[in-house]
Structure 1
Amino acid sequence: MAALPAILVTGASSGIGLATAQLLSKSGYRVFAGVRTLSDRSIQENLSEIELDVSDEASIRAAVQKMEHELEGAGLAGLINNAGIADVAPIEFHPVRNFRAVFEVNVFGLVAVTQAFLPLLHRAQGRIVNMGSIGGLITIPFGATLCASKHAVEAISDCMRLELYPAGIHVTCLQPASINSGSAEKLAAKNEQTIASLSPEGQRRYADMLRRFMKVTMESETKGSPPSLVAHAVLDVLRSEAPPARKLVGKDHLLLKLAAKALPDSIRDRLFRRLFFGSPSFGSCPASQDQETEHHSDLSVRPSASKD
């Protein structure tokens, strides 16, 4: 009997990653579920668990060696770069080390894993699915680390798609919108720690805004689509004869796409100030910025799931 096509899913211990690994396993794939540490696992028996910390070069090398042994010369049919982390804070008081930590996982980890597994992908002319975010299109307040990293994922995905096409390797960037993955609960607890760490002046400026932001974020996630919706989008990409370059996923994706592509910056800014701060004047920008009319397509969204 022919071997099942093999898929690697990073960040598979919970949320979108776990839902994707489970669905692919039920759909005729041999799934390797990457988790940062084996203690993180919530993996079912029908999944092959593999320890993979995308920010650790030694962990990546060990994962490649293990999969080469398991595949016995066969190739990798798909790589799902799902692992990611998020951080929420005002830029004024956000340590640069936190930016580096998020980029280490969301951007550099994605590149490092892809480079390491490309020899296996070449054997099977496999496919790559990079987990972007609506945050790669629409930038929201306090989401600089996530949104900047997901904008980078968009650009890297474009380069991968162009460079790997001649080798028969298709690359798709998925852009989940509001997904009820449980990540907002983790960020809510961290949000209070962030507020407590601010100086008195920082708390005066940002505490109310951060709490309002997190309240909106929690409400958005509660009403969001289930992780299984993203998992089915991954499956569609793997099965498609002509996979898309990018795909928005979520029941609110059309509205968000309109906000990203069609609205002038001035209108988007007013909408976001009202949504996140409760008033167009609360935390408002200078009048000169309010009067901008140029169209811009760089904006982002709700924080994503954890690294695993």
Structure 2
Amino acid sequence: MTASPEIQEIVIITGASTGIGAATARELARRGFHVLAGVRRDRDADAIRGPGIEPLILDITNPDHIRALATRVHGDPQGRAVRALVNNAAMAVNAPVEVFAIDEWRRLFEVNLFGHIAVTQTLLPALIRSKGRVVNISSVGGKVAMATYGPYAGTKFALEAVSDSLRREMAPLGVQVVVVEPGAVRTEMPGRAIASAHEVASTMTPEQSQRYGGLVQAIIAQTAYHTKSGLPADAAAKVIAKAVTARKPRTRYTVGREAALLTLVRILPDRILDLLFAAALRPHFPKESK
């Protein structure tokens, strides 16, 4: 299922301003697809625009933007088929469950889950006609939720469940649904997660700081440590391109060494996992918190 140079197929990618989304847009354009790259700002559009890449201003929580995307897809001047929708847009947050404000929970789910559902619902008629593909970018956090990952992992667990259900609904219609689960990848997202963790820490009450201050600092240090050794965004883009183009794709692809972690999650009891995650985090705690 490879695009022909003469008759390009369309791939839509959300969250293509930077990181994995931008790298995937370039990888698929290189392979001959016409990529509609969803970005948030005009300067991001200028940065990503190139041969085979057509940037569109797309906030997946904005119904007007989604309608404009549908109009562009259905009114394609060359009548090109839609090969795939890559739901990649996301926000990263690290915060203890007690501390993260409920309005922020709702905002996070709007971006990381409900926005993807809205875009998918809108484009499914085109994907059904072309027997295309939905590729949902989840995370290792879609299978395991470590301390302070509750909000982010909650959105990704939900995306995994929606993907499973959609895959079974779409199978009789010829549309394949694939999940990609990246681990540590060197992008701007971990930096934004660290910034959000600092912001959350600054809003904690003295009692909350006593309970969670050391934990949040340890998570920040652990995230920075693993990001340095993570894969480049181009490596993740190649896996996503495989999910888009493989004739018989797997239902799930992992990216990075965290695939081994998912194996442990499947076979080890919860209490053992709790101990392992606590032990892995302990070296990153501030000395006075140990």
Q: Which whole-Å CA distance do the structure 2 matches of 1:219 and 1:259 have between them? A: 21
Pair 1:43-2:10 in alignment = no
Task: Tell me the residue number matched to 2:18.
Answer: 14
Gaps of at least 5 residues in structure 2 are none
Instruction: Report how far residue 248 of structure 1 moved.
Output: 1.4
Superposed counterparts of 1:196-211, under 5 Å? 196-211=202-217
For the 8 Å contact 2:100–2:200, the answer to whether it is kept is no
Moved beyond 4 Å, runs of 4+: none
TM-score, normalised by the number of residues in structure 1: 0.87
Instruction: Report how far residue 283 of structure 1 moved.
Output: 9.7
C-alpha change, 1:75 and 1:283, in structure 2 (3 Å) is farther
- The percent identity for this pair of structures is 31
Give the aligned residue type for 2:10. A
Task: Tell me the residue number matched to 1:153.
Answer: 159
Instruction: Report how far residue 259 of structure 1 moved.
Output: 2.1
C-alpha change, 1:96 and 1:277, in structure 2 (3 Å) is farther
Pair 1:252-2:223 in alignment = no
C-alpha change, 1:178 and 1:71, in structure 2 (3 Å) is farther
Deviations 1:180-204 (A, max 9, x none): 1122222222222211111111111
Pair 1:29-2:37 in alignment = no
Give the aligned residue type for 2:234. S
Which among 80, 89, 110 is matched to residue 104 of structure 1? Answer: 110
Q: Which whole-Å CA distance do the structure 1 matches of 2:284 and 2:194 have between them? A: 22
Pair 1:275-2:280 in alignment = yes
Q: Which whole-Å CA distance do the structure 2 matches of 1:50 and 1:3 have between them? A: 21
For the 8 Å contact 1:36–1:54, the answer to whether it is kept is no
Pair 1:214-2:220 in alignment = yes
Q: Secondary structure at the match of 2:280?
A: helix
Larger RCO (CA within 8 A; separation ≥ 6): 1
Q: Which whole-Å CA distance do the structure 2 matches of 1:71 and 1:134 have between them? A: 39
Which among 42, 56, 62 is matched to residue 56 of structure 1? Answer: 62
TM-score, normalised by the number of residues in structure 2: 0.92
Instruction: Report how far residue 104 of structure 1 moved.
Output: 0.5
Q: Which whole-Å CA distance do the structure 2 matches of 1:14 and 1:132 have between them? A: 17
Instruction: Report how far residue 210 of structure 1 moved.
Output: 0.5
Higher alpha-carbon deviation: 73-82 or 22-31: 73-82
Instruction: Report how far residue 117 of structure 1 moved.
Output: 0.8
Give the aligned residue type for 2:79. G
For the 8 Å contact 2:24–2:238, the answer to whether it is kept is yes
Q: Which whole-Å CA distance do the structure 2 matches of 1:3 and 1:125 have between them? A: 16
Superposed counterparts of 1:169-248, under 5 Å? 169-248=175-254
Deviations 1:36-84 (A, max 9, x none): 2334333032210111111111110011112222354332111100011
Instruction: Report how far residue 242 of structure 1 moved.
Output: 1.1
C-alpha change, 1:73 and 1:4, in structure 2 (3 Å) is closer
Instruction: Report how far residue 279 of structure 1 moved.
Output: 9.4
For the 8 Å contact 1:277–1:283, the answer to whether it is kept is no
